[in-house]
């Protein structure tokens, strides 16, 4: 058998410890499939003495992860530290500049610096792989970049954050409290080091920006993702959605049209009402699902665990197996220099039905003010689905409605007309319907 692929592991948390487990438990099988063994040479984390349930005694310990890039006995550095900048980025840059391959699960870093890192990898002729960064164990990067490579991609969308899906499905299943469920997700190793990245949609936006680049051949443009999370969703919204035949899911969606100015890229992460019989309503817990629509293949649905130790480590090791086999495609599907700059698409003309929840002062005339704004903006109401119980002691009440299909610009105009109204005690929540 050929010489082993020698790797160094930076970060020994949920994913790092998982990679050691996978390589230890399935080492022989992996070596046969890869054509050579994958051997961990050196490791690094913040705390050397911490018990991680894995045996580190066979590996060299480096106090400074940057030292991996200088070691002659390392072929590939595996970065499982996290953070878009800081030590992870410094390590990535030094690794690629030094002519070693890089495997990472770090979507924040790829979303922010993927263009630069892809260029550096191409220049050095070394692999840069990041399957674990998008949808955890699901082969979403491979699915798009290899399986669907023959297609013009029309749209890509799905559930891209395991923590949010866990929170939403637990809340709908048990009526559990948001904060308690988030705490469980953190304990189970699903959440980011800063969980606001999960609940505010930023993590899903990182992943969507990467997928959009691969799907449409455009430069990664994380800053252009229209992003909102699930923190404004209340138990009342989930109950209301249920009665209407929907569940609430955080959905990332990207599509791209081209006009005389070049590609117009639409990228949005937002909670949506998904019809219960839709494929994206099924996934519960940390499950992710990615729908790829190609002009020849039609619709592909990739589904599986989007977070957690085993699934994420499985994706990291799959990348290492590819590298051991000598597979080194351009990191972003096309050579980085061929990726086109895009302009964000104007969403105003997009047509859909919307759920709008207003939180209002409990006084006469409020509903009339809201419906007048909707009328003036030409938003047609399909149903007024809740007029909350009269508030006690002046408590605000919830008024929710579903619109007929219409342009997003009209809903935006209605909300503009209502902006600053003393009738509204907080910003309205808009969720589009997917059915």
Ligand X SMILES: N[C@@H](CC=O)C(=O)O
Ligand Y SMILES: NC(=O)C1=CN([C@@H]2O[C@H](COP(=O)(O)OP(=O)(O)OC[C@H]3O[C@@H](n4cnc5c(N)ncnc54)[C@H](O)[C@@H]3O)[C@@H](O)[C@H]2O)C=CC1
Binding site for ligand Y (CB under 6 A): 11-16, 45-47, 80-82, 87, 105-107, 132-133, 136, 189-190, 192-193, 307-308, 312
Q: Whole-angstrom Cα distance, residue 95 to residue 79?
A: 10
Q: Binding residue for Na ion (CB under 5 A) from 135, 339, 354, 414? A: 135
State the DSSP string of 238-249. HHHHHHHTEEEE
Q: How far is the CB of 337 from ligand X (least distance, A)?
A: 29
DSSP code at position 175 = -
Q: Which are the contacts of 235, defined by CB distance < 8 A and separation ≥ 6?
A: 171, 175
Q: Is 131 in the site for Na ion (CB under 5 A)?
A: yes
Q: Is 161 in the site for ligand X (CB under 6 A)?
A: yes
Which does residue 285 touch among Na ion, ligand X, ligand Y, none (CB within 5 to 8 A, set by kind)? none
207 part of the active site? yes
Q: Whole-angstrom Cα distance, residue 182 to residue 229?
A: 13
Q: Is 192 in the site for ligand X (CB under 6 A)?
A: yes
Whole-angstrom distance between the N-terminal and C-terminal Cα of the chain?
53
Minimum CB distance to ligand X smaller for 31 or for 80: 80
Which does residue 161 touch among ligand X, Na ion, ligand Y, none (CB within 5 to 8 A, set by kind)? ligand X
Q: Whole-angstrom Cα distance, residue 235 to residue 213?
A: 35
Using the rule CB under 6 A, give the single segment among 25-33, 155-163, 274-282, 331-339 that binds ligand X.
155-163
Binding residues: 10-17, 107, 192
Instruction: Tokens for 106, please give them.
Output: 């770090």
Q: How far is the CB of 308 from Na ion (least distance, A)?
A: 12
Q: Is 190 in the site for ligand X (CB under 6 A)?
A: yes
Q: Whole-angstrom Cα distance, residue 411 to residue 413?
A: 5
CA 406 → CA 214, 255, 331, 377, distances in Å?
30, 19, 39, 11
Q: Are strands 287-294 and 298-305 parallel, antiparallel or unpaired?
A: antiparallel
Using the rule CB under 6 A, give the single segment among 20-28, 186-194, 293-301, 325-333 that binds ligand X.
186-194
Q: Is 306 in the site for ligand X (CB under 6 A)?
A: yes
Q: How far is the CB of 315 from ligand Y (least distance, A)?
A: 8
Q: Is 319 in the site for ligand X (CB under 6 A)?
A: no
Letter string b/e over residues 324-339, b meaning 16 or more CB atoms within 10 A of that residue's CB: beeebebbbbbebeeb
Minimum CB distance to ligand Y smaller for 80 or for 171: 80
Q: Which long-range contacts (CB under 8 A, 24 or more apart) does 427-431 make?
A: 427/232, 428/356, 428/357, 428/358, 428/359, 429/232, 429/233, 429/237, 429/356, 429/357, 430/354, 430/355, 430/356, 431/237, 431/248, 431/270, 431/271, 431/272, 431/273, 431/354, 431/355, 431/357
Q: Whole-angstrom Cα distance, residue 170 to residue 69?
A: 43
Which does residue 140 touch among ligand X, Na ion, ligand Y, none (CB within 5 to 8 A, set by kind)? Na ion
Binding residues for NADPH: 107
- Asked whether the beta carbons of 166 and 77 are under 8 A apart, the reply is no
Torsion of CA 146, 147, 148, 149, to 10 degrees: 30
Q: How far is the CB of 257 from ligand X (least distance, A)?
A: 29
Minimum CB distance to Na ion smaller for 34 or for 140: 140
- Asked whether the beta carbons of 173 and 184 are under 8 A apart, the reply is no
Q: How far is the CB of 306 from Na ion (least distance, A)?
A: 8
Number of residues that bind ligand X (CB under 6 A): 11
Minimum CB distance to ligand X smaller for 161 or for 342: 161
Using the rule CB under 6 A, give the single segment among 19-27, 187-195, 246-254, 344-352 that binds ligand X.
187-195
Which does residue 230 touch among Na ion, ligand X, ligand Y, none (CB within 5 to 8 A, set by kind)? none
Binding residues for L-homoserine: 192
Catalytic pick among 207, 276, 284, 413: 207
Q: How far is the CB of 314 from Na ion (least distance, A)?
A: 9
Q: Binding residue for ligand X (CB under 6 A) from 203, 237, 319, 322? A: 203
Q: Whole-angstrom Cα distance, residue 35 to residue 46?
A: 33
Q: Whole-angstrom Cα distance, residue 208 to residue 253?
A: 7
Q: Binding residue for ligand X (CB under 6 A) from 136, 217, 283, 285? A: 136
Minimum CB distance to Na ion smaller for 13 or for 391: 13
How many whole angstroms from its chain centre is CA 28? Answer: 33
Minimum CB distance to ligand X smaller for 213 or for 288: 288
Q: Binding residue for Na ion (CB under 5 A) from 108, 140, 224, 269? A: 140
Binding residues for NADP(+): 10-17
Q: How far is the CB of 266 from ligand Y (least distance, A)?
A: 25
Q: Whole-angstrom Cα distance, residue 84 to residue 133?
A: 12
List of residues contacting Na ion (CB under 5 A):
131, 134-135, 138, 140, 315
What positions carry a catalytic annotation?
A: 207
List of residues contacting ligand X (CB under 6 A):
136, 161-163, 190-192, 198, 203, 306-307
């Amino acid at each position: 058998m050929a010489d082993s692929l020698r790797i160094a592991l930076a970060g020994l948390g949920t994913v790092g410890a998982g990679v050691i487990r996978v390589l230890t438990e399935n080492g022989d099988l992996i070596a046969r499939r890869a054509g050579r063994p994958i051997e961990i040479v050196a490791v690094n984390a913040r705390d050397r003495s911490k018990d991680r349930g894995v045996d580190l005694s066979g590996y060299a310990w480096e106090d400074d992860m940057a030292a991996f890039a200088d070691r002659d006995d390392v072929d590939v550095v595996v970065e499982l530290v996290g953070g878009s900048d800081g030590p992870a980025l410094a390590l990535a840059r030094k690794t690629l500049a030094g002519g070693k391959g890089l495997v990472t699960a770090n979507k924040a870093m790829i979303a922010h610096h993927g263009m630069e890192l892809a260029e550096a990898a191409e220049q050095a002729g070394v692999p840069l792989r990041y399957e674990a960064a998008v949808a955890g164990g699901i082969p979403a990067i491979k699915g798009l970049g290899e399986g669907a490579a023959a297609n013009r991609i029309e749209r890509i969308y799905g559930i891209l954050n395991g923590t949010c899906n866990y929170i939403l499905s637990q809340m709908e299943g048990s009526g559990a409290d948001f904060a308690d469920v988030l705490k469980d997700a953190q304990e189970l190793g699903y959440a980011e080091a800063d969980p606001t990245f999960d609940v505010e949609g930023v993590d899903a936006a990182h992943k969507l920006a990467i997928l959009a680049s691969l799907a449409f051949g455009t430069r990664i443009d994380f800053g252009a993702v229209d992003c909102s999370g699930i923190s404004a969703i209340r138990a009342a919204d989930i109950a209301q959605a249920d009665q209407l035949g929907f569940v609430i899911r955080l959905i990332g969606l990207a599509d791209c049209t081209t006009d005389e100015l070049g590609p117009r890229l639409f990228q949005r992460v937002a909670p949506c009402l998904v019809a219960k019989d839709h494929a994206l309503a099924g996934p519960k817990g940390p499950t992710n699902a990615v729908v790829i629509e190609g002009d020849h293949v039609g619709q592909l649905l990739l589904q599986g665990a989007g977070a957690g130790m085993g699934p994420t480590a499985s994706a990291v090791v799959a990348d290492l197996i590819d590298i051991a086999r000598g597979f080194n495609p351009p990191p972003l599907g096309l050579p980085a220099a061929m990726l086109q700059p895009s302009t964000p698409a104007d969403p105003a003309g997009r047509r859909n039905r919307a759920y709008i929840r207003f939180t209002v002062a409990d006084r006469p005339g409020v509903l009339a003010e809201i419906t007048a704004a909707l009328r003036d903006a030409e938003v047609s109401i399909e149903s007024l689905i809740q007029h909350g119980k009269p508030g006690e002691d002046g408590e605000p009440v919830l008024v929710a409605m579903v619109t007929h299909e219409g342009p997003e610009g009209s809903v935006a105009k209605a909300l503009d007309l209502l902006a600053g109204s003393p009738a509204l005690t907080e910003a309205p929540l808009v969720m589009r319907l997917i059915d």
